[in-house]
């Protein structure tokens, strides 16, 4: 089957996010209890593919969900006064989510009558998270950070890693 399918769809996503925390501690170890809240709204128009027998038609829709997080962050300066400003970071927290936590769209083949649903990964209603990382400054104007992240809740498990390199000029 050799088909060239195409479609055009308009979608809008809006996110409102607020984080508040209070940092306390000494020069080498700082603790930050924090809370986060987020509200997300996604809206999309329906669309249809053109160009072949396997073309799909899907309905538009909207989804709204919100999350809240209570966490504790620790930053530990392990540089010993060296120029590299090496630091270890850790964060543990509890997240609660509500609203449309399972993204889904109804679809069908253009040349068919039987509809079906396409679903994304659900957002856990309650989950625990943990993040651990290390950061160093190889030069006065740059910083490299590696972070590992994990989240578990409602039978789901997510694991990830993130590498950041920031340069000031």
Compute how many other C-beta atoms are within 10 angstroms of the C-beta atom of residue 73.
17
Please compute the mean of the pLDDT values over residues 83-91 and round it to a whole number. 94
Lowest mean pLDDT among 15-19, 29-33, 79-83: 79-83
Sequence-distant (≥ 6) Cβ neighbours of residue 54 within 8 angstroms:
1, 3, 5, 109
Compute how many other C-beta atoms are within 10 angstroms of the C-beta atom of residue 61.
16
Q: Is the pTM of this model over 0.85?
A: no
Query: Is the separation of the CB atoms in 19 and 35 below 8 Å?
Result: yes
Compute how many other C-beta atoms are within 10 angstroms of the C-beta atom of residue 123.
20
Cα distances (Å, whole numbers) of residue 94 to 19, 78, 162: 14, 27, 20
- Dist CA 126 CA 45 (whole Å): 30
Confidence of residue 73 (pLDDT cuts 50, 70, 90): very high
Q: Above 90 in pLDDT, residue 67?
A: yes
Query: Is the separation of the CB atoms in 7 and 46 below 8 Å?
Result: no
Q: Which pLDDT belongs to residue 147?
A: 97
Helix (H) or strand (E) holding 66: strand 61-77
Cα distances (Å, whole numbers) of residue 96 to 54, 85, 88, 90: 40, 35, 27, 20
Q: Above 70 in pLDDT, residue 1?
A: no
pLDDT in tens, 112-142: 778 998 888 888 999 999 999 999 999 989 9
Confidence of residue 151 (pLDDT cuts 50, 70, 90): very high
Mean pLDDT of the chain: 92
């Amino acid at each position: 089957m050799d088909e060239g399918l195409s479609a055009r769809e308009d979608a809008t996503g809006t996110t409102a996010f607020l984080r508040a925390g209070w940092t306390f501690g000494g020069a080498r170890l700082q603790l930050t209890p924090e809370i986060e809240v987020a509200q997300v709204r996604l809206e999309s128009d329906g669309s249809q593919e053109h160009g072949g027998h396997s073309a799909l038609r899907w309905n538009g829709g909207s989804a709204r969900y919100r999350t809240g997080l209570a966490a504790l962050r620790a930053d530990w300066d392990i540089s010993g006064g060296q120029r590299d400003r090496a630091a270890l970071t850790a964060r543990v927290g509890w997240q609660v989510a509500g609203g449309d936590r399972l993204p889904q769209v109804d679809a069908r083949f253009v040349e068919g009558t039987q509809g079906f649903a396409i679903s994304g990964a659900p957002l856990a209603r309650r989950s625990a998270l943990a993040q651990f990382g290390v950061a160093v400054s190889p030069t006065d104007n740059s910083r490299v950070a590696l972070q590992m992240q994990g989240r578990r809740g409602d039978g789901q498990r997510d694991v990830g890693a993130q590498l950041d390199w920031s340069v000031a000029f």
